[in-house]
Structure 1
């Protein structure tokens, strides 16, 4: 660990920030995280800056300049596993190391009110990655199905879990065919919600069982979906005015690749693609689990959506996925064509409603909100603490 320095910390400075009301209260969090860094052999590559003022005590951790330049030039985190020789599939500690390095490289601050919240945030990201790797689904924007022994459906409440069905098991059976031996129909956006919900529920089982009970009751009452799901469970970092670097990703991020072609973006379900970054330069492919995307293959796939649209007999605009696959395979055999496609697709996307010179790369990512007792940011719309306690 580089020498501790004391001066004002810019709240917009990069890396991980721990905060407490006083230096005495900050000390356990600081010591706890320093022990984490030692455990994954990162302590010698991290700068620590401390500050105490009227707004409390702060500790800022960030990857030192030499390590950042060597491991992730220009904030490109897609090569971290190769650079650090990590096996994140076979070794959970390596996955934690990749997550921590990416957080320490962040160009914007990740603020935690305690070491416990930081620990939960890392575990949730690990849960997302591990669940996403096991998820395989059937793509369908018009129909949806769930295991009937776990779920019931109504127009008003969406898919809710049946009495006696545990939420974690229901989500695993629905998204992981190794458990259910069946592929269930999903849109890519709803699929990401189920993976996030599973990861959150698994962490709450460890760190906040009261909130897990409320979450269980919520999904017995009414599902949280779409924009409301984002508002309740997620926060966005990066923006159109302050975009993240195009190749900066943290394992466990949810993100959107935009379809920059106006015509093909009118096909339902092909406006863009919601995925998770699972580390090692790979992004989820829920429809072909054994073929996760690289940044290159994702860009090439989105590019060829424009070449695979057609209208059916009723005049509805549709996508021929077989044509997409054929075009992608042909392109990947031609390095010059790949380079030309990447030149346009790796640009940051245009604003909503604009189709001009932008590519498919979004300016922001999404991560789960704070979860621990006393500092949780999760406010479930249907379930008050009193109601939840009454149903325990």
Structure 2
């Protein structure tokens, strides 16, 4: 029986739910070697649950005392002196942050855990390189790799690499930027990270993914269902400072008026690690949690009616007001007191802030255990 991926077991952290005790013993040996290579053994406590067939990995007291404040991980890299521009340090932050999750990350074997860490690393690296033009109505993709159809969306031309097509669309070296909404941008960065891992560990499924994008794009709600796992809930929210590098997450605009502007209902981003969130529009200027909250707070002041009578956003007003707030510690604290609250439910604009209760991460990808089911090319 395949282990349930999330919410299956009460304890948090990382669970490797093997099929037998012998398989769990093998996973233990593999994980111990992985932890030794990363040099993080002192931060990981291991117990056996489920009659010994599941490895439950949680933070040691040393990690909690040094790097985990109020259940949060946003200061972990700084507390441990990690430079997450370095791949090994980024992997360390990913793994140790996962250990601190109040909801268990469940994997059927050690290999799926390795892939989960690598996908998160690839997503962070892709998000750092992504630079786009913001547009919720127009959309463009590089000619020679993409074509568009109203029924199928943007699809990859036959014979063209999906990975290359995604990189060309989101990671321009110079020149023009292609138009995206932030939501669609997160889809491209996510599927790129998954595709890169599939190409390495599950080439058969990567071939099906290539066929899928040559046939029909997977978008919006269907994308979430096919590729992502959501953890946390409004009834049992994750701590406001809890993030794992590679998480896809949403900051909600808690202002009812400005949230009526298309594209300003909220902001979809990735957590990059080291306390930073990506900026699709200015990739060399990632956000701190404080800066992101302050910017979204001031969307209410940037709402304007344009010449055509349509509600629009004046970004220059938002930028100017944000700079003034960030220069005033007392005003920044006042704004954060409101914005760092968990958001209200959908359709409600009362006392909630901009912090979502949940995060999203990629599904399993390995042969025999992958739970990605493509709409047009299932296994």
Structure 2-normalised TM-score?
0.96
Aligned partner of 2:42 in structure 1 is 44
Residue range with higher mean Cα deviation, 142-151 or 307-316: 307-316
Which one of 38, 51, 64 corresponds to residue 68 of structure 1?
64
What's the offset of the Cα at 1:383? 1.2
Structure 1: distance between partners of 2:276 and 2:102? 21
- Tell me, which stretches of 5 or more residues in structure 2 are unaligned? 1-7
Aligned partner of 1:175 in structure 2 is 170
What's the offset of the Cα at 1:52? 4.7
What per-residue deviation string (whole Å, max 9, x for no partner) do you get for residues 213-260 of structure 1?
A: 000000000000000000000010000011000000000000000000
Aligned partner of 1:125 in structure 2 is 120
Q: Are the aligned partners of 1:23 and 1:52 in contact in 2 as well (CA < 8 Å)?
A: no
SS of aligned partner of 2:191: helix
Structure 2: distance between partners of 1:23 and 1:92? 33
Structure 2: distance between partners of 1:165 and 1:40? 37
Tell whether 2:139 aligns with 1:139. no
Tell whether 2:115 aligns with 1:115. no
Q: Are the aligned partners of 2:226 and 2:373 in contact in 1 as well (CA < 8 Å)?
A: yes
Aligned partner of 1:34 in structure 2 is 32
Which one of 126, 145, 149 corresponds to residue 144 of structure 2?
149
Aligned partner of 1:214 in structure 2 is 208
SS of aligned partner of 1:274: strand
Tell whether 2:84 aligns with 1:88. yes
SS of aligned partner of 1:177: coil
What per-residue deviation string (whole Å, max 9, x for no partner) do you get for residues 33-68 of structure 1?
A: 111111111112211111353xx7111111112321
What per-residue deviation string (whole Å, max 9, x for no partner) do you get for residues 276-298 of structure 1?
A: 00000000100011110100000
Aligned partner of 1:343 in structure 2 is 337
Structure 2: distance between partners of 1:358 and 1:65? 33
What per-residue deviation string (whole Å, max 9, x for no partner) do you get for residues 319-370 of structure 1?
A: 0011111111111111111111001000010000000000000000000001
Aligned partner of 2:247 in structure 1 is 253
Q: Are the aligned partners of 1:22 and 1:52 in contact in 2 as well (CA < 8 Å)?
A: no
SS of aligned partner of 2:237: coil
Query: CA-atom RMSD, angstroms?
Result: 1.1
SS of aligned partner of 2:236: coil
Structure 2: distance between partners of 1:107 and 1:52? 18
Structure 1-normalised TM-score?
0.93
SS of aligned partner of 2:331: helix
Aligned partner of 1:368 in structure 2 is 362
Aligned partner of 1:333 in structure 2 is 327
- Tell me, which stretches of 5 or more residues in structure 1 are unaligned? 1-9, 386-392
Aligned length: 372
SS of aligned partner of 2:304: strand
Structure 2: distance between partners of 1:138 and 1:182? 9
SS of aligned partner of 2:142: coil
Q: Are the aligned partners of 2:66 and 2:80 in contact in 1 as well (CA < 8 Å)?
A: no
Structure 1: distance between partners of 2:19 and 2:246? 30
Structure 1: distance between partners of 2:131 and 2:50? 48
Tell whether 2:197 aligns with 1:199. no
Q: Are the aligned partners of 1:127 and 1:199 in contact in 2 as well (CA < 8 Å)?
A: yes
SS of aligned partner of 2:23: helix
Q: Are the aligned partners of 2:304 and 2:314 in contact in 1 as well (CA < 8 Å)?
A: yes
